[in-house]
Structure 1
Amino acid sequence: MAGVVLAYHPDVTILRNIAALLEQVDAVYVVNNSPGEAATQVLAPLVSVSDVEVIELEGNLGVGAGFNAGIRRALDADAEYVWIFDQDSTVAPRMLRALLSHVDDYGVHTGIVGPALRAAETGRVYPADSGRGAARRNTLISSGSLFSRELLEDIGLHDEWMFVDYVDHDICLRAGAAGYTNLKVFDTVLDHRFGDSVPARLLGRKVYLANYSPLRLYYQSRNRVVLLRRFGPRGWFGEDCWFTLKAWTKIVLFETQRGSKTAAALRGLWDGLRWRPTSK
């Protein structure tokens, strides 16, 4: 059993998360997607930790390539399961046990298994993540997702061309298309933070702003269209439209660089429409 943690300009909180992860897995592969003096200093204490290996990439190669680098190393070390995390997620005690307890619920066709999500800013479990036991899901976020060797050898690794957003949707939908059942386990909860999570007030309610860069919004827009063209809308697009509407409401009302963000999203839309299956 191996864990993979993707680091991008990390701070020292990543060390606590890795320590918590080590309590549940045999080895952890930390992929540094932001090489440089600052990241090297933060990750330096890991050099002396047994069962931890830091993989230095040549630059920011994206979420897909980063996760894949760690997954390949884990599979080469004969791991039967690989458990992946962003640096801004907190591993809960006994989380792995809870995920594994549902692996056989749907027989050999169990696909990707992930925990319920709780907003790190508020401590509230998202409405769609409330429940008991486990339930089928078409898509799961990358962080906290558990992959079996069997699944990865069947459907392949993450699509590195997509770079960042919807990389998780893509691999989940590929698993579903191959006949696997992805599961969300409600018996364990992952604290996760999306973007900067800067607070603001909308109609008397506190909301949190992701403040994604124009480049990030370009990838979101492009990859959303590519995913729609690859798989169609069934099982994911309706929920995604609602999430996107809320995100853009906050961008228009509160965030800076609205013009450049809108222009980047429109470029992404155009590039997604022009995409062809051979254009990776």
Structure 2
Amino acid sequence: MSEEESCHALIIPLFGDLPSDLREYLNLLHSTGYQLVLVDNRADELGITQHQPCWPSEAYVIENRNRGGLAGGLNCGIAAAIARGADYVTLLDQDSRMQPEHLQGLQRQLHSTEWDQARRLLIGPCIWDADRRCWHSPRQRSADSNSTKTTLLITSGTTFCASNWPLLGRFDEAMQIDYIDHDWCFRAATKGFSLHQVHDCILSQHFGEPHPNALCDLLGMQLYTPYRHFTALRNLRLLLRRPYIPISIKIKEVIKMLLKLPAWLLFEPQRAANLHSIYTAVTCPLKLQA
């Protein structure tokens, strides 16, 4: 199948207050030929159609109601896209912005003769932090290739061939949101997948609300809810038990968490709720993988 004949699906879970420019962005994506799969991941009683009645008419909308969190939204969106004939899949956050030509660049990289077509690949863009106006991670270029091999891709922007989905496997819905990219990427690596970041494909991302404390903001922290603190700490406990997660990653994430815990209790407005979240995350039973 040629690149022009293929179907490229974009999976976009939606939650909370939607960005004001989202409708315009979806119309742009639709006008350039992408299959849009919108997953309503809000738990309230009003669905997308009541909140936002003017999506592109061809967009496929799924009511998921936050079952399985972000992981569940991605899983059902991917399954729906493949059932509707997708050949390539790109995952996008509602706060991510990636120009159509850069999305085409990701697909082109998967379709490139640079790769053995039987090779197992996960492709992602370079990430621009739209809030801090800097690269999310060092942008390393290779003189002889348009991509750099990596060990981890953030969920948004990750692109793969739909035929590889059964082998890749689903995102872990027990984790819901935090660390689902770590778990999925390192699990994929154990199945022979190679992860690459494409140099000239750029995704602009808003990572969350700026932290009110200057020191925490300088350290790269965002202000999240007590529930997100709970899921982050609980999921770190899960991550530490996964044999396929490298020990270097485990040590790095534990050190980062040890810095975050006092910040949550000293420099954030909901200190009592944060303390309760920490206690619950540390003491709750874990749902371990079979």
Please indicate the TM-score interval, normalised by the length of the shorter structure: 0.7 to 0.9
Indicate the residue corresponding to 1:114 in structure 2.
124
Cα displacement (A) at 1:77: 0.8
Cα displacement (A) at 1:64: 0.8
Q: Tell me the matched-pair count.
A: 274
**Which residues of structure 2 form unaligned runs of 5+?**
1-7
Cα displacement (A) at 1:23: 4.5
Q: 1:20 to 1:240 in 2, by over 3 A?
A: farther
Q: Which shows bigger deviation, 154-163 or 226-235?
A: 226-235
**1:27-56 alpha-carbon deviations (Å, 9 max, x no partner):** 10111111444854442111xx24312212
CA distance in structure 2 between the aligned counterparts of 1:15 and 1:163, rounded to whole angstroms: 26
Of residues 68, 91, 96 in structure 2, which corresponds to 1:89? 96
CA distance in structure 2 between the aligned counterparts of 1:215 and 1:150, rounded to whole angstroms: 35
CA distance in structure 2 between the aligned counterparts of 1:238 and 1:70, rounded to whole angstroms: 33
Of residues 230, 234, 237 in structure 2, which corresponds to 1:222? 234
Of residues 188, 193, 202 in structure 2, which corresponds to 1:189? 202
CA distance in structure 2 between the aligned counterparts of 1:7 and 1:165, rounded to whole angstroms: 16
Indicate the residue corresponding to 2:288 in structure 1.
276
Residue type matched to 1:98 in 2? G
CA contact (8 A) 2:239 2:250 kept: no
Identity of aligned residues (%): 26
**Which residues of structure 1 form unaligned runs of 5+?**
none
Indicate the residue corresponding to 1:172 in structure 2.
185
CA contact (8 A) 1:110 1:183 kept: no
Is the partner of 1:94 in helix, strand or coil? Answer: helix
Cα displacement (A) at 1:7: 0.4
Cα displacement (A) at 1:249: 6.2
Of residues 29, 35, 39 in structure 2, which corresponds to 1:31? 39
Of residues 16, 21, 27 in structure 2, which corresponds to 1:19? 27
Q: 1:221 to 1:207 in 2, by over 3 A?
A: closer
Q: 1:98 to 1:241 in 2, by over 3 A?
A: farther
CA distance in structure 2 between the aligned counterparts of 1:238 and 1:106, rounded to whole angstroms: 33
CA contact (8 A) 1:220 1:265 kept: no
Of residues 156, 159, 167 in structure 2, which corresponds to 1:143? 156
Of residues 140, 158, 177 in structure 1, which corresponds to 2:171? 158
**1:146-193 alpha-carbon deviations (Å, 9 max, x no partner):** 121122121222121211111122211121010110111221221111
Cα displacement (A) at 1:139: 1.7
**1:179-221 alpha-carbon deviations (Å, 9 max, x no partner):** 1101112212211112222454239x85665221222111111
- Relative to its length, the structure with more helix (as a share) is 1
Is the partner of 1:86 in helix, strand or coil? Answer: coil
Cα displacement (A) at 1:267: 2.9
TM-score (norm 2): 0.82
Cα displacement (A) at 1:6: 0.7
Indicate the residue corresponding to 1:8 in structure 2.
15
CA distance in structure 2 between the aligned counterparts of 1:197 and 1:20, rounded to whole angstroms: 28
Please state if 1:255 is matched with 2:262. Answer: no
Residues 70-81 of structure 1: pairs in structure 2 closer than 5 A: 70-81=77-88
Please state if 1:69 is matched with 2:76. Answer: yes
Cα displacement (A) at 1:126: 2.5
CA contact (8 A) 1:29 1:54 kept: yes
CA contact (8 A) 2:68 2:174 kept: no
